[in-house]
Structure 1
Amino acid sequence: MAKIKEEIDKLTSAELDAGQVFSGKTSGRMVQGFESASSFTPNLDTEYLFHESSRDVVVWFMDSSDPIYLFGPSGSGKTSLIKQLAAKLNYPVFEITGHSRLEFPEMIGHLTVEQGSMEYQYGPLALAMKYGGLFLLNEIDIIDPATAAGLNGILDGEPLCIPENSGEIIHPHPMFRFAATANSNGAADETGLYQGIVRQNLAFMDRFWLCEIGYPTPEAEIELLSRKAKNLPENIRKKMVEYANSVRKLFMGEASGNLTDTIEVTFSTRTLIRWADLTVRFQPLARQGIQPVTYALDRALGYRASRETRTVLHELAQRIFPVESVENKS
């Protein structure tokens, strides 16, 4: 713990040109960041594609008057968006994933034994507040509303009191930021797909700036696959994006034509990238008469679905990839 404190206590804030940081073009508009990265700063993904939803989060970073709450479907890139923007600003990120039994000590800290004596070990929220950094609470809509409501004072900018550490008072560092991610907007899950989501307290939700993160446009996903799966032919990458959007329409009950079934799985951008990656990795199977595209499809998405849905997915694949066999040869 001492090494952690020593490292993050040396962090130095800096004013950075927002245009230069986010687009490579000088804008004259400044954003607060850090002079250099630390071990808590996410690794910068040079192939990451910022899509339209990133605008809101960029503006938030420039003047984060309120905590931000990002919601959207699974795999749409909520957490990665926050982390990649933080990486560009050299922001340390202190992260925790919510669950139904999450309690304050997991976020704030607890007493522990260090070299024979009791010492207080700060949790991610206390570290971010004390030394400056971004506290990222994923799956916030799964935590108990009573626990969430206990964060109200912190969300309002009030100091944190730690009775277990001799009543220490931590005033929020000027570089402290609070971000949360969720699949719902805090009003419970309307789709029934995300188990464990609970409706959050209205007063708790009122403290957030909400930002909806959807899937990228087809053009953006095609560009993303061109970066992530360079070895795939361009026409296959385009068909993969077409297929993913067709599955999303089935999931939402918006499909037209003969395939009008509503299915229980959807194609996230994360799954799309996994499918492309597996297709490349399973390419040698083509010599054995096994089609890599459809073989990888089951392993990226199909096996998460019911047998009936897998049949629908295979029928759709046969239409979009007519040269590919949808026969399960695993």
Structure 2
Amino acid sequence: MIDANLKRAISLDDFTERRTSLRAMTSHVLTKIYDANTLISRAFDDSPLVGDQPDQITPRPTPSGLCNVLDEDTMIALLNKEIVVRDILDAIRKPEVANPKAKTGWAFGKPKKVEPGRRDALIKEIEGEGKGYDPMTFSLEEMFKLHDFTLEKTGRGSDEVLDAMQVVLRADQKVAGLRAALSVKQDEERPVYKLEDIPEHVRLAHNDLADHILGLSTTSEPVSTDYEIPQDAELINLALSKQGLPPIKDLLTELKDAKNKSATTMQMPQISEVPQSADIPKGKFVVKKCADVFKITGTYRQAFSFEIPTWEWDAPHPHVPALDNEYIFNPSLLLRTLYALMTNKRTYLHGHTGSGKTTHAEQIAARCQIPVMRVNFDSEITRMDLIGRDTLVQENGTTVSKFVEGIMPQAMAGPYMMILDEIDFIRPDVAYVMQRVLEGQGLMLTEDGGRVVKPHPMFRIIATGNTVGQGDEYGMYQGARPQSMAMLDRFTVWAHVDYLSGSERRKLIEKKVPKLSKDMVDNVCKYVDEHIRAFKDSKILQPITPRGYLDLGNALVMFLGVYPSTQKTKAINEALDTTILDRCSAQDRAVIKGIINRIFV
């Protein structure tokens, strides 16, 4: 069975987009290997293809550097588990497949067992996986049903569903006709279809669409937990009544309720409330349904039907982050993080700068009303900053020494989510201070007479980093340090945080910058797509974050409103210079200027 993510990647027709997606997936696989940088570096040292000679190349000895020189067939074979990383490293040391078109004369890192044309072969395999339908035979009415049913069940927007239909069905004319028909009927109220209204072949197509959009199928009905009452219930009730027990119907109802509760509820600590202090309001621990807290609709609502811990405060808590109602959660990432919060696991979120790692944690806290303490790590953070220090204070006219707690014991004393931001930049020797805390045990303050700070039952830790804690594998994050494996091992929930998808970025821009015209929204979305692609390919070092492209959108609205319509180009250039170009290095500016000229000029 081909992985859903690999299916999406190889289904992309644009070579650049497909290679970018395959490189990102392959790099993710390589970074999971212990000491990957060292293994790759050693293979490069032993390779006759790596060096400064005219017939040699000089790739960076990192996972991303290796991905840059692997061909498409090799990456697909690795992702489809036809080969392992060891096969690639062996082929680097001893080249196995000739390639006359390559500078070295060899296909770098390509094992002999990798068959040519893997993408075409897998595409045929996907198309032959028992679809049971031919999209080219779908009538316009059936295309409408497929669109509307998928729209309702996934909770996604029409544009995203149409984009998915184009990729999955591979029937461009059919989808183009549907787009045109929908634009004519955009003001009409769409019907709500039941499962029995959808023909079997349309259901099968919907399954593939839902798998592409959400990663799971949605047409199957929920499994019932009802129990049938036996035909001889009267005799059973008579026997039960003699034992002082309720009727069989009531017992079965209790059994059903207990089963449902055990299936959807994780064990959480029993906490009643947080007492009020001078700065902190009184708080009450409340268990709520996750789907209601995060306002989840569509198919995923059932998946998020479990209960989660939240807080209710008598007054606004100064440490609870501000709520962003427009924030878009990644369902898989949200589920992992909530699992960690409910089971008291330490979480490590990693990804490129601006992908929203810290914001993800803060918006979960905002919806659950969890107070947050955030510490930004750098090489100057010391043990005393984390633990505390002795200071001299005046008491009754006398100078005395008093221990002042650092941020860690302060956070541990309450139901705080402590965010260890950019943890891969901390000095490893300082990080050892956190070992006991990361194990879930108390913190001993040797500076305060050996006092032990025991963590609050709802104290949680989430770490974020641009790397996985093994050094800068991208060549973009100078200062990122290889961390102790002993510390990294104490994080048991890991998640890669990627940038928003194109459709999600569009929704965010339309909501946050409603005055931006549609053609400008299109141009900004195209620009951001190319900027992110150039950043991931290491062509530029300047990232673009949601904050950055929302600022660009607001600047466009302002400058286009100030300049007369005859100077539209000047207004656009002013907005781009203000938010993007004037902060670039000379090298980045040349690349970004080229992207701007293709899109805005």
1:156 Cα offset (Å): 0.5
Q: State the match for 1:233 in structure 2.
A: 517
| 1:15 corresponds to | 287
**DSSP 3-state at the match of 1:282:** helix
Q: Pick one of 50, 54, 60 that aligns with 2:340.
A: 60
With 280-289 and 101-110 compared, the bigger mean Cα shift is at 280-289
1:248 to 1:153, Cα distance in 2 relative to 1, 3 A: same
Where does residue 272 of structure 2 map in the other structure? none
In the alignment, which residue of structure 1 is the partner of 2:308? 31
Tell me if the contact between 1:111 and 1:119 (Cα under 8 Å) persists in the aligned partners: yes
Tell me how far apart the structure 1 counterparts of residues 589 and 391 of structure 2 sit (CA, whole Å): 50
Q: Corresponding residue for 2:476? A: 193
Paired residue type of 2:506: I
Of structures 1 and 2, the one scoring higher in RCO (CA 8 A, sep 6+) is: 1
Q: How does 1:42-121 map to 2 (within 5 A)?
A: 42-52=321-331, 53-61=333-341, 63-112=342-391, 116=395, 118-121=401-404
Conserved? CA contact 2:387–2:408, under 8 Å: yes
Partners of 1:229 and 1:169 lie apart in 2 by: 50
User: What is aligned with 1:326?
Assistant: none
Q: Which of 215, 220, 232 matches 2:499? A: 215
Q: 2:559 aligns with which of 275, 282, 290?
A: 282
Which stretch has the larger CA shift, 89-98 or 302-311?
302-311
Task: Report if aligned partners of 2:388, 2:406 keep a CA contact under 8 Å in 1.
Answer: yes
Q: Residues 15 and 122 from structure 1, CA distance in 2 versus in 1: closer, same or farther, beyond 3 angstroms?
A: farther
Offset, 1:115:
5.7
Does the C-alpha gap of structure 1 residues 160 and 11 become closer, same or farther in structure 2, counting only changes over 3 Å?
farther
CA displacement 1:81-130 (0-9 Å, x = unmatched): 11111011111101111010211221233344566365443332212211
Q: 1:113 to 1:291 in 2, by over 3 A?
A: farther
Match in the other structure for 1:327: none
More strand, by proportion:
1
* Distance in 2 separating the partners of 1:230 and 1:74: 26
Distance in 1 between residues matched to 2:581 and 2:375, nearest whole Å: 30
Aligned-partner Cα distance in 2 for 1:252–1:29: 36
Counterpart in the other structure of 1:180:
463
Letter in 1 for 2:508: L
Contact 2:418/2:461 (<8 A) preserved: yes
What SS class does the counterpart of residue 563 from structure 2 fall into?
helix
Give the TM-score normalised by structure 1.
0.85
Task: Decide which of 588, 592, 597 is 1:309's aligned counterpart.
Answer: 588
**Alignment of 1:160 onto 2:443:** yes
The 3 A distance-change label for structure 1 pair 128 and 112 is same
1:131 counterpart SS class: coil
Contact between 1:33 and 1:90, CA under 8 Å: does it hold in 2? yes
Deviation at 1:132, TM superposition (A): 1.9
Q: What is the percentage of aligned positions where both structures have the same residue?
A: 27
Q: Which moved more, 1:85-94 or 1:229-238?
A: 229-238
Q: Is the 8 A contact 2:356 2:497 kept in 1?
A: yes
User: C-alpha displacement at 1:169, in angstroms?
Assistant: 1.2
Quick one: which amino acid aligns to residue 234 of structure 1? Answer: K
CA distance in 2, matches of 1:9, 1:118: 31
**Cα displacement (A) at 1:284:** 4.0
CA distance change for structure 1 residues 223 and 28 in 2, over 3 Å: closer, same or farther? closer
Deviation of the 1:140 alpha carbon: 0.7
**Alignment-mate amino acid for residue 289 of structure 2:** D
The Cα offsets for residues 16-67 of structure 1, whole Å up to 9 and x where unpaired, read as 2211111257865211121225111111112222234333223333x24321
The structure-2 alpha-carbon separation of the partners of 1:77 and 1:34, relative to structure 1 and needing over 3 Å to count, comes to same
Q: Distance in 2 between matches of 1:118 and 1:5?
A: 25
Q: 2 CA distance for matches of 1:178 and 1:205? A: 13
CA RMSD, aligned part only? 2.5
1:171 aligns with 2:454: yes
Q: Secondary structure at the match of 1:281?
A: helix
Change (3 A) 1:175 1:8: farther
Matched position secondary structure for 2:413: helix
The runs of 5 or more residues in structure 2 that have no matched partner are 1-275
CA deviation profile, 1:68-91 (whole Å, cap 9, x unmatched): 111111111111111111011111
Determine which structure has more spread, i.e. the larger CA radius of gyration: 2
Alignment CA distance shift 1:165-1:5 (3 Å):
farther
Structure 2 counterpart of 1:204: 487
Change (3 A) 1:306 1:273: same
Aligned match for 2:549, one of 254, 269, 272: 272
Query: Is the contact between residue 329 and residue 360 of structure 2 (CA under 8 Å) also seen in structure 1?
Result: yes
Superposed CA offset, 1:144-192 (max 9, x none): 0111122111101110112333432111111100111111111111122
Verify the 8 A CA contact 1:64 1:177 in the aligned structure 2.
no
Q: Note the C-alpha offset of 1:298.
A: 2.7
Asked if the contact 1:67/1:178 (under 8 Å) is kept, the reply is: yes
TM-superposed deviation, 1:274: 2.1
Distance of aligned partners of 1:317 and 1:166 in 2 relative to their CA distance in 1, 3 Å threshold: same
For residue 297 of structure 1, what is the amino acid of its counterpart?
L
Give 1:281 shift.
3.1
Task: Return the letter of the residue paired with 1:264.
Answer: L
The alignment of Structure 1 onto Structure 2 pairs a total of residues equal to 312
Instruction: Give 2:233's aligned residue.
Output: none
1:33/1:119 CA distance change after superposition, 3 Å: farther
Mapped to 2, the partners of 1:75 and 1:102 lie a distance apart of 22
Query: Is 264-273 or 147-156 further displaced after alignment?
Result: 264-273
Q: Does residue 300 of structure 1 match 2:579?
A: yes
Q: Is the 8 A contact 1:251 1:266 kept in 2?
A: yes
